Amino acid sequence: MGTALVTGATSGLGLEFAWQLAQARHNLILVARTSERLREVAEEMRQFAGVQVEVLRADLSQRDELELVAERLRDPNKPVGLLVNNAGFGLGQPFVGGDLAPEEQALDVMVRAVMVASHAAAGAMVRRGRGAILNVSSIAAHTAVGTYAAHKAWVLRFTEVLAVELAGSGVTATALCPGLVHTGFHAAAGIDETQWKESLWLDAERVVSDGLAAVRRGQVICTPSLGYRCGNAVLRLAPRWLVRRMAEDPERSRRQPE
Ligand SMILES: NC(=O)c1ccc[n+]([C@@H]2O[C@H](COP(=O)([O-])OP(=O)(O)OC[C@H]3O[C@@H](n4cnc5c(N)ncnc54)[C@H](OP(=O)(O)O)[C@@H]3O)[C@@H](O)[C@H]2O)c1
């Protein structure tokens, strides 16, 4: 695959993607907002994995900065073989009564940036007749828990559409749907991790290696771990009223006026 571009590569799953790809001898382009952290990670990867690493500082919620990523993906002289659309964050607030600014930012990062980067990468890859796009969705895509569920449902369905359009082109599209993973995600959103029992948590290393194996197989949807695959099957078979009921916050129902 040559060079891989990973968004959100300074922490959590993105950092793990970068390490596993570097260990598999891919050169890397690391994208995130924090320049210092990008430089540190790049330097470690050059030293310990001996691969070439470019850093591209960009806030993916800003259209002009996102365009820098798209331009890099389109560059015919420096082909990118794998795009990992990984950057994302939790909102940790209800939509009704919550702030609108983070809602808009979430759409920009987890929906618009995925679309723009995929458009740039798919065009360039199809012209070369090879390449792969991996979009990080979530098991939340099948639920009705917060607007995050809607963003990740978009990523999942969009990836399926991409896979259909790309069939026979030599380029593949894969959606990765992890369950809970200990990363910086929950702390950044002010979400208490202790509300879920430890057996529900997945290991970032395993989630990423399953995702990369799915890319190698050209698999369209990958849900790491048997437990989450069973949960996913239940969510898909359950009537939607039950899925909505499961997402209800009993505290909120108690607070509602009669
Ligand atoms: N952790 C879980 O339980 C879980 C489960 C299912 C799916 N996911 C998904 O997995 C993906 C990775 O999340 P994670 O758990 O690894 O979270 P994380 O540890 O918080 O990492 C998020 C990464 O995204 C970058 N990022 C955030 N906002 C950005 C922006 N506006 N522009 C550019 N980069 C940005 C961050 O870097 P900077 O702050 O430097 O920009 C960081 O590198 C997300 O799409 C998330 O929705 C996570």
The pLDDT value recorded for residue 235 is: 92
Q: pLDDT of 171-196, one tens digit each?
A: 999 999 999 999 999 999 999 999 99
Q: 143, 240 in Cβ contact below 8 A?
A: no
Pocket test for ligand 1, best of 7, 20, 33 (most atoms within 8 A of CB): 33
Domain housing 125: 3-255
Q: Which residue has the higher pLDDT, 26 or 257?
A: 26
CA of 255 to the centre of ligand 1 (A): 32
CA nearest 199: which of 177, 225, 222?
225
Nearest residue (by CA) to ligand 1, atom 2, is: 181
Q: Which residues are catalytic?
A: 148
- Starting from the edge strand earliest in sequence, which strands make up the sheet with 27-32, in order? 53-57, 27-32, 3-7, 82-85, 131-136, 171-176, 221-222
CA of 9 to the centre of ligand 1 (A): 8
The pLDDT value recorded for residue 252 is: 59
Q: Determine how many CB atoms are found less than 10 A away from the CB of residue 20.
A: 18
CA nearest 51: which of 81, 17, 84, 28?
28
**Chain mean pLDDT for the chain:** 95
- 258 confidence band (pLDDT: 50, 70, 90): very low
Q: pLDDT of 199-219, one tens digit each?
A: 999 999 999 999 999 999 999
Residue 94: phi and psi, rounded to 5, are -75, 155
The pLDDT value recorded for residue 197 is: 94
Please list every protein residue whose CB sits less than 6 Å from any atom of ligand 1: 7-14, 32-34, 37, 59-61, 86-89, 109, 136, 138, 178, 180-181, 183-185, 188
**Rounded to 10 degrees, what is the CA torsion of 175, 177, 182, 184?**
50
Q: 137, 159 in Cβ contact below 8 A?
A: yes
Atom of ligand 1 nearest to the CA of 178: 6
Cα 215 from Cα 59, distance rounded (Å)? 26
CA of 212 to the centre of ligand 1 (A): 17
- Weakest-pLDDT range from 44-53, 68-77, 97-106, 242-251: 242-251
The pLDDT value recorded for residue 250 is: 63
CA of 12 to the centre of ligand 1 (A): 7
Pocket test for ligand 1, best of 89, 116, 198 (most atoms within 8 A of CB): 89
The pLDDT value recorded for residue 257 is: 42
The pLDDT value recorded for residue 75 is: 97
Residue 255: pLDDT over 60: no
Atom of ligand 1 nearest to the CA of 60: 32
Cα 66 from Cα 130, distance rounded (Å)? 23
Residue 159: pLDDT over 70: yes
Q: What percent of the chain has pLDDT over 70?
A: 96
The pLDDT value recorded for residue 256 is: 46
Residue 1: pLDDT over 60: no
**Which CATH number covers residue 229?**
3.40.50.720
Q: 27, 52 in Cβ contact below 8 A?
A: yes
pTM of the model: 0.96
Q: pLDDT of 75-123, one tens digit each?
A: 999 999 999 999 999 999 999 999 999 999 999 999 999 999 999 999 9
- Weakest-pLDDT range from 80-89, 143-152, 244-253: 244-253
Tell me how many domains the chain contains.
1
